[in-house]
A and B are shown apart, each in its own frame.
Chain A
Amino acid sequence: MMQSLLSILIWLPIVGGFAVLALGTHRGGEARWAALAVAVATFLVSIPLLVGYDADAGTMQFIEQHRWIAAIGASYHLGVDGISVALIVLTTFVTPLVVIGAWSSVRDKVNQYLAAFLVLEGLMIGVFCAMDALLFYVLFEGMLIPMFIIIGVWGGPRRVYATLKFFLYTFFGSIFMLIGLIYLFLQVHTWDMAQLAALPLTLREQTWLFFAFLLGFAIKVPMWPVHTWLPDAHVEAPTGGSVILAAIMLKIGGYGFLRFSLPIVPDASQALAWVVIALSLIAIIYVGYVALVQEDMKKLIAYSSVSHMGFVTLGIFLSLALARTSGDKDSAYLGVSGAMVQMISHGFVSGAMFSCVGVLYDRVHSRMIRDYGGVVNTMPWFAAFWVLFSMANCGLPGTSGFVGEFMVIVASFAMSPWVAAGAAFTLIIGAAYTLWLVKRIIWGDVANEHVAKLQDINARETIVLLAFAAAVLALGVWPEPLTHLMDASIRHVVDQLLVVKAG
């Protein structure tokens, strides 16, 4: 059982998803309960993973290796370290909430909707534990299919445009990564990620590979200037799609940088870290400004996601520069930790924000900020949650948003006060767009009769928001369990940063 825990985590939701699909369109009620059962079961299965993982060692654990395609050296090779465990638990935590969130808001072909999410969950978990590059790529790309369907079938009015853009953008980026991986494969004749990392490469080779990986993961994160698919996808996606997209799929980009760019092409990553740092700072500041002027709630949160994910890439590449030029391993460690905590925290916060928007959208069927105002008068409980998540979004101490941002900013001080100033700017701009959003939607007098007729959140919605709120507060007040979980693994990553591969 414990030996094949990861396989169970991957295949349980996928098989469960197909079972839900087989229930047929007309049995929506059964489909909901079945999907919820599968999602909760997957979450329960992930608890032994969290508990059983030996965080002090920080090594790859729960390893499974089977032959898959011997002819091309690909194997079904799974394993997790602390970073993966954190992201997997994030995934299994958010998916049941998405299923609950869709309980009454999705009525059309509900079994297919839920099946798509379950299959997607399995694929995402697979991405986080793949140790074989080909397996990683297959799962990484395979995720596009359910998401394409989710946005395209259950999305808003411009869903076709948005979903095609989402698919083609991501496909375009990752296929260059594929060429890079094939190139590596031809050198070592294995797809094993540890062996790819051990392969010596000249700086020239590394540079090309770096750009191949960058294109793949930068679009996924997404980084400025290839972020434009994200606002469209978020705006048109159904609530659940937005939640999964923001909470988990974006993290896969950051995870990819840690797993591919840093270990396989460390020298090129160092040489070109300034590119990523510059793009990240632009994302943090410029995209923050862009968020300020949005009139669509979902678009605003989408841009805020781009800005927050800028912190993640900043933290990762900052550490690289720090560890290798000044040998400041402690700051480097702080940077990567900050990036990881930020990823997890943003998973909760953005998921919660999009769930909140979903709650309003279900009632008023508008995402436009101008259609709201004074919601606190009719929905006090909802307003309380919204304000909490907004505070977390702008990084208020005591919420999870603060921890990661603080760590990255401290690390960036070690590099240069200017970078730190740029990064810290996000606290101001983030507060500006988030609080202004709160002001326009929540506070004030009741703006129109739609708002006047609003009902406060029901028990089902309360469960979802309460779960997110608990996670946000727990992480903000006591981040120690999370940092401890990832601590040794991150130190391992930082040690890897120092390896010089180019001869």
Chain B
Amino acid sequence: MPFSIQDLQLILPEAFLLFAICAVIVVDLLVKPTQRDVTHWVSFGAVAATLLLVVIDRGADAVGFSGMFVHDAVARLLKIFMLLIVAAILAYARTYLKDRRLHVGEFYELVLFATLGMMLLVSAGSLVMIYVGLELLTLSSYALVALNRDSSLSTEAAMKYFVLGALASGLLLYGLSMIYGATGSLDLARIHLADTGVGGHPSLLLFGLVFVVVGIAFKFGAVPFHMWLPDVYEGSPTAVTIFVSTAPKLAAFGMAYRLLDSGLGALAPHWSLMLAILAALSLVIGNVVAIAQTNIKRMLAYSTISHMGFLLLGLLDATPSGYAAAMFYAICYALMTAVAFGMILLLSRVGFEADDIDDFKGLHQRSPWYAFVMLLTMFSLAGVPPLWGFFAKLLVLKATIDAGFLWLALVAIVCAVAGCFYYLRVVKVMYFDAPTEKKALELPADVPLRWLLSINGVALLFMGLFFGPLLTWCYRAMGAG
């Protein structure tokens, strides 16, 4: 497979990140365990530099490596937000990991490898690249979940994740092989041409589509492929949960977009109905089960399931504006969830995981500012205007109604009201309940954590009022209006 120097230019950020990861590994070998902050800052720098490379890259849309790698506005937008979120997460996680003796080089290396996988995934132009990117992401995630190897909860979560993830990967691969069989190509653009043509193997293609949708649904954590999600969220160290729950959802959106639109766009009438059913189930199950949770990580896990239901609402429209709405939702979701888990990281202490909802009791009296940030996050997750989460929901609902699924929009809003209850409960615990201890909250001395978390939280309000530019960017990337 010949390739030119232009191809290398297209993957410059990815190539840079790969070399940077190697550098991180070497640096981590050289520093003493007490100086692990060096690894942290080198990793942070690597992500920031990669982000810079993506941002300054204003090259035109192009396809490299014989169609394997797609360089377009969608990929660029998703990469920017993935890298932003990963950078924030590295800052959020440091103190938590240090307190738990988990501040090891492997964390950084695995997160960076997973990031590389995500970047490749959203730029994939062929089925092979999709699979490679996905595996790089998920294998790193399995290991990350098991980071706290002495905790049985953590290892159990990793095992569950691994077994179910491997099964889902297998199903996806099976589907991909059928698509290859039906169309004779691994290249998504050519598959797109083939499946619009006549005389192919429509039933084989449809059969493959079903497995592909299963693979995507697993990655999103949509019902009924959500079983891994609560256990993984609860079992992993919170610093890992925050990673698993945010950026990979953007990557999952990228994968769904590449596979379903770039590859199988002609089958939209079929898959959009499948997604509608997945979305309805996720919305109902996610929201109802979340009400019963007392562990906030588990509650957020079920809330994630319901949010993925909302995200699918945007996808199933199968129009550029629908994809833009879904992408907007994914970005919004990832940033909201980052604050929610970041807050758990902030409140955690040595020997104390702030992962019960009751651990937030009376936060309002102990730290008014962070209680307010968490309040913004919860109202945003619930979808109350004028916060960002509301507008994300508005856009996907618009896409749903546009696609003619009025019933689904009604299911979604009833679920949103039910969902409101458990987000409000967190607010209730923070604001209306008396704290168990009166003294002011001791905040970790970690300045980047505190500042970034505050900025991230206030951004939810700011973006609610001024989300126009981002939305226009999403629309343009998708080529809508």
Contacts and interface: CB of A to CB of B under 8 A. Distances in A.
Contact of A164 (B379, B385, B395, B421): B421
B385 A182 contact: no
Interface string A98-140: 0000000000000010000000000000000000001001110
Interface stretch (B103-111, B409-417, B442-450): B409-417
Given A69-B468, A71-B475, A167-B420, A144 B413 contact: no
A305 B442 CA distance: 47
A178 interface: yes
Cβ-closest 5 pairs across A and B: A138-B385, A69-B468, A71-B471, A141-B385, A175-B413
B431 A137 contact: no
A179 B421 CA distance: 20
B99 interface: no
Contacts of B421: 164, 168
Chain A: interface secondary structure?
helix
B397 A137 contact: no
Given A142-B385, A175-B417, A179-B409, A153 B432 contact: yes
Give the interface centre of B432, B467, B472 by most chain A CB atoms within 10 Å. Answer: B432
A139 B428 CA distance: 22
A171 interface: yes
A186 interface: yes
A159 B432 CA distance: 9
A134 B475 CA distance: 19
Interface of B: 364, 368, 379, 384-386, 390-391, 394-395, 397-398, 401-402, 406, 409-410, 413, 416-417, 420-421, 424, 427-428, 431-432, 467-468, 471-472, 475, 481
Nearest to B425: A164
B431 A153 contact: yes
A68 interface: yes
B428 A71 contact: no
Contacts of B394: 72, 134, 178, 182
A146 to B, nearest CB: 11
B263 to A, nearest CB: 27
A168 B420 contact: yes
A178 B410 CA distance: 10
Contacts of A164: 421, 424, 428
A481 to B, nearest CB: 35
B413 A178 contact: yes
Contacts of A290: none
Contacts of A368: none
Given A159-B432, A179-B410, A186-B401, 20 more contacts: A68-B468, A70-B472, A71-B468, A71-B481, A72-B398, A138-B386, A139-B386, A141-B384, A141-B390, A142-B384, A152-B428, A152-B431, A168-B420, A168-B421, A171-B384, A172-B417, A178-B394, A179-B397, A179-B409, A186-B402
B365 to A, nearest CB: 8
A151 B108 CA distance: 45
B420 A160 contact: no
Contacts of B420: 167-168, 171
Given A72-B395, A182-B394, A167 B402 contact: no
A136 to B, nearest CB: 10
A149 interface: yes
A183 interface: yes
B481 A160 contact: no
A145 interface: yes
A148 interface: yes
A202 interface: no
